Amino acid sequence: MTRTDTPALLLTGPPRHGVVRYAGDLAAHVRALDADAPVLRVEDPTDLPAAAAGLGRAHLHVTDRLLGPSPDAAADVVERLAAACRLTVTLHDVPQESDGPRNLPRRTAAYARVAAAAAGVAVNSRHEALLLAEHGVLADGRAQVVPLGAAAAGAAAAPAPQGAGAPLVALVAGFLYPGKGHDDVVRAVADAADLLRAAGTPPGEVAVVAVGGPSAGHEDEVDRLRALAEGRGVALRVTGGLDDDAFHEALRGPGVPVAAHRHLSASRTLLDWGEAGRRPLVVDSRYAREMADLRPGTLALYPPDDLPARLARAWADPAATALPAGASLAPTLRDAAAAYLAWWAGDAGASGGAAA
């Protein structure tokens, strides 16, 4: 018999979407700990309320962009779903300043409606919980923090030091869209090449490899970035969408891994690097510091203005971009699944309720 405290795990949206993939991975690990945990795939998010009728309890991973054409439409779906069952949610892509003056108020209002409708709210980082409080979505202390779970750390070759004539390549993983940091990396790798030339160790080809493709609606971003790169003497290569094996193989390839997004709030990409055996350069932020403390030794934080110098050092000592042998990425997906089971078994409703 199914445990009465384990909700039905709802999956919806495009299977390759990062939130959908994580929800599916987590559901599989919940099932490994509770074989009777129900998992329900609903192709169209607008069908969720009807699908949930009679379930009793359900859990949904929420990002407004996944559930509707607007933040209000997404909140409508969640409110109807919460009326059909006792709903807990994990909030992703929470509102923050980088949403801009038009979208921030709309997204904040929608997330406040979701939080008020849900019996319990979880987020993937303490940073996100603080963002919810700072923008009036949910009071501090009301959201359950369950960090993103990782698979095991992979093995990456530890390359030998290199010198003049070796290519200088920066790798940026994930979807390409404005604000992701590709611009900063293009400029920084050009400046790093200048530093190396001034030091008498000129690199060979100078390039940025975007491991992934543009997100929907931002296809023109590739042409804009390519023009910026050409103007700085940098080659830009965009792999386009890759299957899982090809994606992780590209992350293990030659080059310096960089995560330059200044507004990360919960990033699966940082775990992708670790699972590929890489230790990326990550721009310093409240979230990045939280993750560096959570998984010691797996990230190399840098101040925003210091990226050229860090790239130059990593070019000279590429072994620094590989995780040390035996590095742990815990908490794992199993740890995250266990944390959710404990939360659901307790009073999950104490973490949710009306917005602040």
| Contact status, residue 261 vs residue 213, Cβ threshold 8 Å | no
Tell me the Ramachandran region of residue 277: left when phi exceeds 0, alpha when psi lies from -120 to 50, beta otherwise: left
For residue 276, the number of C-alpha atoms closer than 13 Å in the C-beta half-sphere is 26
Length of the chain: 356
Q: CA-CA distance, 142 to 121, in Å (whole number)?
A: 7
Whether residue 19 contacts residue 61, with contact meaning beta carbons closer than 8 Å, is answered with: yes
β-sheet bridge partners, residue 11: 41
Count how many Cα atoms sit within 13 Å of the Cα of residue 105 in the half-sphere of its side chain: 2
Tens digit of pLDDT at every position of the chain (356 positions): 345 689 999 999 988 788 999 999 999 999 999 999 999 999 999 999 999 998 999 999 999 999 999 999 999 999 999 999 999 999 999 999 988 999 999 999 999 999 999 999 999 999 999 999 999 999 999 999 999 999 987 766 667 678 888 999 999 998 888 888 999 999 999 999 999 999 999 999 999 999 999 887 788 899 999 999 999 999 999 999 898 899 999 999 999 999 998 777 778 889 999 999 999 999 999 999 999 999 999 999 999 999 999 999 999 999 999 998 888 999 999 999 999 999 999 967 444 444 44
Question: 214: helix, coil or strand?
Answer: strand
Tokens describing residue 50: 């009807």
So what's the pLDDT on residue 2?
A: 47
The whole-number pLDDT of residue 37 equals: 96
Q: Please state the pTM of the whole predicted model.
A: 0.91
